[in-house]
């Protein structure tokens, strides 16, 4: 890899491009273009691009053109959110950078470095245009002032310009058991800020904040999105000012949200921000999702093996850890085709409910006098891999750990924050706490040999001050990442799920250290359809845990058919979370047939391109996965609610090759018959339809009249693939 100094940096990949070049004469470089690939650019074209971006100077303004630099602030006349907020003992700093150097290598990376000798600063920005056209950016600030005067960093944000055509903003919000709910609004003057001070990503966190062209949808419009890859406090924002700065009057960005005094740098110390990922799509939200999924799948640590069908014991037995009952549950799990059996909360000392025992990471001798071996050996003999639930970052006050070490909480010496689920947060940044957790978890994993940990985190980290009174979320998050990496290094092949009372820690930061996320604590399939649809905007299905729960959801009280529960769970890393041993034989047979279909289709769903249809009837949702060769696909058609019409409009199957002819087949185990007096003719003729991809994608075809909370599964294969 070679790196040379440049006047320009031009990064191009997979339909996206970033152009960085001269901005203000005495400032940092500016982003002159981020969006669609512009093709090969000569020096003359680059100069023309810069000239075209240079704005006029209006009345009542600074006397020279405004430029939006890579790290804008008030010293270069940016009056929006600054990239850096710095001070020394209360004396504000507006950096004036010199010795600016822009370099680009031949592998899609660019770096910008600069110094401010007067204020004792050096600065670096790393920019990487990765597979899928994902742009990853981070910045590093170093205190270069000799002596004892520290540098306090109050904020470090990454900002990129948006074009005037970005007129709408979309993000997600949520709560426990209703995560990742979309919300959309006009993008006018001012700041759309999504800030999380929860000490974890948060149930209400926006996975990606998007700005886009008017009316953008799943398959149409231009969108520009941002995601902060960090599991602590963070901010995402889109901002538009009345003043134009260079090429834009609007920005999109984000970064870690720092508490007062959280980052204080002594001489020669540095702060490096989390990676902030930006995505551009010229074909709507599906294009952005495909880019994110492709990037994630190219990571060296991305799971490569088939994602095993899971049984989790939580909604089957809760805290009732009776060996004979669990053995019956394991037998039933193996009978229906499960491949992983996860023992959830309740296995460790004094843990009969959620009010005691958390933090005491040894097997409860009263419940498990011979350890977990009688269950785990039986699970292995049935051909399944055992897994185990843990929540290492927390402790109940009613625990042996806290009775022995009452000062180990992430809290000042004089008080505790409010309790949450009868537990408090341990300070992982303290060496003695970290060492205890490594040693105790390592001992359990070594002795019981689970291949999988469900790693939970059941509360927000509020009022997060360490014992000496300093803000603690940044250090806590860093320590968590180290703890996960330490355990995985000690136990190669161990897989870890990020669960945080459901989907409160779903981000690209935690996925650098774990193997899947638990999207929500609700297994109600109607809620799951909504939240999986939007969680998958960031997370590909193979990393998204999706389970078949009981007929009546314990989180909503709503009844759902087994067919609808199975259809919903199919489009993720599928599993079951109910008392299988209490089901009727016909239900077990239905689950066994579904398990076979999951194993048949998981390779397609977990490697294919996710597609979602912009159907005109809001009660009908169509989503699927199309193979890379576009010779095979699987689609779910879901009826979410009643419709204003007596029957739905024809459905369309996006993502297929318009020039190929396909055979569309119903998958009977996962298809509701509907309640039509007569179904469409193609179903009467045998449940198969042969049509060109252009017809299926643009003209569509009729479906039965479906009741709400039912659906259909369609398997699509190119005719030549059938012949092969």
What amino acid positions are annotated as catalytic residues?
Answer: 456, 521
Contact residues for 720 (Cβ-Cβ < 8 A; gap 6+): 631, 660
DSSP 399: S
SS3 state of residue 416: coil
What is the Cα–Cα distance from 344 to 327, expressed in whole angstroms? Answer: 14
Element spanning 594, H or E:
helix 585-605
> Do residues 576 and 338 make contact, with C-beta atoms less than 8 angstroms apart?
yes
b/e code 140-161 from CB counts within 10 Å (16+ = b): bbbbbbeeeebbbbbbbbbbbb
Number of neighbouring beta carbons within 10 Å of residue 663: 15
State the SS3 of 45-74: HHHHHHHHHCCCCCCCCCCCCCCCECCCCH
**Three-class secondary structure assignment of 307-356:** CCCEEECHHHHCCCCCHHHHHHHHHHHHHHCCCEEEECCCCECCCCCCCC
CA–CA separation, 367 vs 276, rounded Å? 46
| Strand (E) or helix (H) holding 374 | helix 373-381
> Would you call 291 exposed, middle or buried from its count of C-beta atoms within 10 A (0-12, 13-18, 19+)?
buried
Q: Are 107 and 117 in contact (CB under 8 A)?
A: no
Ordered strands of the 620-626 beta sheet = 609-612, 620-626, 632-639, 710-718, 661-666, 688-692
Are 55 and 66 within 8 A, CB to CB?
A: yes
Cα–Cα dist 160/139, whole Å: 13
273 phi/psi in degrees, rounded to 5 = -70, 160
Nearest CA among 494, 42, 456 for reference residue 301: 494
Structure tokens at 53: 């971006």
For residue 572, give both structure tokens. 């993720």
């Amino acid at each position: 890899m070679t790196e040379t100094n440049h006047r320009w940096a031009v990064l191009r990949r997979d339909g996206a491009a970033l152009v960085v070049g001269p901005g203000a004469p005495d400032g940092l470089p500016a982003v002159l273009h981020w969006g669609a690939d512009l093709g090969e650019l000569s020096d003359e074209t680059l100069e023309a691009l810069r000239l075209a971006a240079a704005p006029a100077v209006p009345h009542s303004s600074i006397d020279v053109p405004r430029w939006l630099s890579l790290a804008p602030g008030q010293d270069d006349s940016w009056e929006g959110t600054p990239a850096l907020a710095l001070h020394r003992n209360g004396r504000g700093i507006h950096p004036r950078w010199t010795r600016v150097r822009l370099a680009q290598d031949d592998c899609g990376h660019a770096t910008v470095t600069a110094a401010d000798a007067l204020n004792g600063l050096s600065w670096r920005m790393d920019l990487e245009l990765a597979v899928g056209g994902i742009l990853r950016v981070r910045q590093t600030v170093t205190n270069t002032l000799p002596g004892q005067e520290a540098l306090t960093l109050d904020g470090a944000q990454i900002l990129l310009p948006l074009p005037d055509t970005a007129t709408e903003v979309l993000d997600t919000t949520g709560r426990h058991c209703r995560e990742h709910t979309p919300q959309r609004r006009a993008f006018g003057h001012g700041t759309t800020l999504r800030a999380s001070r929860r000490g974890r990503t948060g149930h209400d966190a926006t996975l990606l904040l998007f700005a886009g062209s008017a009316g953008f949808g799943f398959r149409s419009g231009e969108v520009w999105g941002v995601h902060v890859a960090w599991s602590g406090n963070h901010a995402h924002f889109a901002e538009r000012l009345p003043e134009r700065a260079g090429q834009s009057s609007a920005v999109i960005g984000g970064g870690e949200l720092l508490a007062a005094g959280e980052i204080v740098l002594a001489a020669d110390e540095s702060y490096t921000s989390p990676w902030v990922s930006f995505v551009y799509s010229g074909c709507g939200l599906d294009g952005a999702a495909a880019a994110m999924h492709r990037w994630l799948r190219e990571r060296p640590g991305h799971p490569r093996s088939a994602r095993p069908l899971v049984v989790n014991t939580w909604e089957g037995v809760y805290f009732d850890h009776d060996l004979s009952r669990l053995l019956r549950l394991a037998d039933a799990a193996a009978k229906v085709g499960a491949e992983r059996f996860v023992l959830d909360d309740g296995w460790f000392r004094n843990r009969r409910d959620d009010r005691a025992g958390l933090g005491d990471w040894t097997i409860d001798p009263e419940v498990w006098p011979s350890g977990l071996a009688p269950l785990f050996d039986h699970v292995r003999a049935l051909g399944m891999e055992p897994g185990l639930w843990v929540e290492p970052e927390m402790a109940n006050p009613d625990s042996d750990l806290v009775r022995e070490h009452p000062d180990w909480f992430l809290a000042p010496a004089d008080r505790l924050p409010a309790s949450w689920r009868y537990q408090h947060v341990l300070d992982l940044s303290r060496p003695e706490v970290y060492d205890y957790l490594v040693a105790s978890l390592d001992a359990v994993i070594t002795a019981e040999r689970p291949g999988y940990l469900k790693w939970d985190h059941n509360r927000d980290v509020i009022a997060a001050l360490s014992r000496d009174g300093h803000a603690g979320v940044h250090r806590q998050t860093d320590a968590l990442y180290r703890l996960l990496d330490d355990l995985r290094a000690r136990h190669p092949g161990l897989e870890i799920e990020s669960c945080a009372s459901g989907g409160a820690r779903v981000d690209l930061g935690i996925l650098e250290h774990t193997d899947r996320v638990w999207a929500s604590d609700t297994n109600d399939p109607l809620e799951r359809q909504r939240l999986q649809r939007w969680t998958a905007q960031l997370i590909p299905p193979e990393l998204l845990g999706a389970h078949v729960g009981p007929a009546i959801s314990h989180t909503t009280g709503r009844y759902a058919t087994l067919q609808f529960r199975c259809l919903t769970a199919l489009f993720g890393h599928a599993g079951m979370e109910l008392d299988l041993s209490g089901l009727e034989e016909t239900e077990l047979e239905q689950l066994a047939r579904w398990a076979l279909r999951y194993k048949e289709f998981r390779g397609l769903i977990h490697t294919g391109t996710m597609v979602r249809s912009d159907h005109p009837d809001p009660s009908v949702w169509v989503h699927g996965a199309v193979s890379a060769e576009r010779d095979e696909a699987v689609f779910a058609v879901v009826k979410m609610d009643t419709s204003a019409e007596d029957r739905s409009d024809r459905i369309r199957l996006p993502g297929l090759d318009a020039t190929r002819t396909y055979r569309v087949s119903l998958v009977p185990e996962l298809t509701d018959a509907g309640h039509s007096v007569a179904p469409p003719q193609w179903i009467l003729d045998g449940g198969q339809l042969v049509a060109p991809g252009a017809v299926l994608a643009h003209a569509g075809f009729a479906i039965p009249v479906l009741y709400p909370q039912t659906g259909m599964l369609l398997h699509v294969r190119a005719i030549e693939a059938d012949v092969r």
